[in-house]
Amino acid sequence: MSDISSYVFPFTTCERPTLSSWVAQPASVVANAVIIGILGGMEIVAQTWAVKRVLLALIVFEIVHLTSHAWHISAPIQTMLIHVMARVVAGMLWWAIWIFVPSIPRRAHIMALGLLK
């Protein structure tokens, strides 16, 4: 974990990190916690495994996102974590689309992933 005063946040944000609190961005942490709660409720009532997996991927992403607002870790690690989680979420969404929308031609689906020309 790096010192917040020396940390250059990688983008403009509405909530400036606080130096006097153990949580860098408390309002953002609360907002992310609410989102996690909503996604958790949706996951509980979801009827299919595909939807449950997509929601679980989103919940894990939001937990990483919440953590990045609570404690600013070094930029390369934070960037790597967010990008990995974004890929996991995208993969779960592609998988759910593959399952629920059989009318999409499979070749077009694979081409969209860039695996086939």
**52, 62 Cβ separation under 8 angstroms:** no
pLDDT in tens, the chain (117 residues): 445 555 555 445 677 777 777 888 888 899 999 999 999 999 999 998 888 989 999 999 999 889 888 887 777 887 788 888 888 888 888 888 877 776 665 666 666 666 545
Would you say the pTM of this structure is higher than 0.75? Answer: no
Is residue 107 a part of any domain in this protein?
yes
Length of the chain: 117
Q: CA–CA distance from 33 to each of 12, 22, 29, 36 (Å)?
A: 21, 17, 6, 5
Is residue 95 a part of any domain in this protein?
yes
Is residue 106 a part of any domain in this protein?
yes
Is residue 86 a part of any domain in this protein?
yes
Number of domains in the chain: 1
Matching residue, tokens 């860039």: 114
**107, 116 Cβ separation under 8 angstroms:** yes
The parent domain of residue 62 ranges over 22-112
Q: Provide Rg for the chain, Cα atoms.
A: 18
